[in-house]
Amino acid sequence: MLSGMGWVLYSVCLALLLYAGVVAAFFVAGRREDARAVAGFVPDCVVLFSRLLRDDRLPRRHKLLVAALLPYLAMPFDLIPDFIPVAGQLDDAVIVALVLRRVVRANPELVEEHWPGPRRTLVWLEGFYGVFTNRR
């Protein structure tokens, strides 16, 4: 049996392998820009959230959502503990998607202005949120 720390290490390695597999599949398929977008999505979200927290135009209720999200993601114990492989990270992804959806729908111009990643990622998010590509 694995100890608690063994499960954490196992789940982190599994998530990294899955993530690397998706990026490698895009790269091998000749879709390098898609590979860059997928590889940089999580870091781009972190940069976006930190920029939004510093922007005075973001309404207070949305700042509170973003500010509450960051410590929630850092905690190893939440709705589904992070040491449970796949499912532990999936609940975090759902929470990020919900907060991102709320902020994007209320302030698409602000999110578009602060988005550090490639435009292609915003086009990809269009399928979920329907606010970016119709304006340009």
Tokens of 72: 């929630």
In a domain, 101, yes or no: yes
Structural contact between residues 104 and 36, judged by C-beta atoms closer than 8 angstroms: no
In a domain, 6, yes or no: no
Q: Look at the pTM and tell me if it is higher than 0.75.
A: no
Is the residue at 26 inside a domain? no
Range of the domain at 90: 41-135
Q: Per residue in 62-101, pLDDT tens? A: 999 999 988 877 776 777 776 666 666 667 777 877 888 8
Residue 66 resides in a domain: yes
Q: Is 75 left (phi over 0), alpha (psi -120 to 50) or beta?
A: beta
User: How far is 128 from 41, CA to CA, in rounded Å?
Assistant: 15
Domains in the chain, number: 1
Is 57 within the bounds of a domain?
Answer: yes
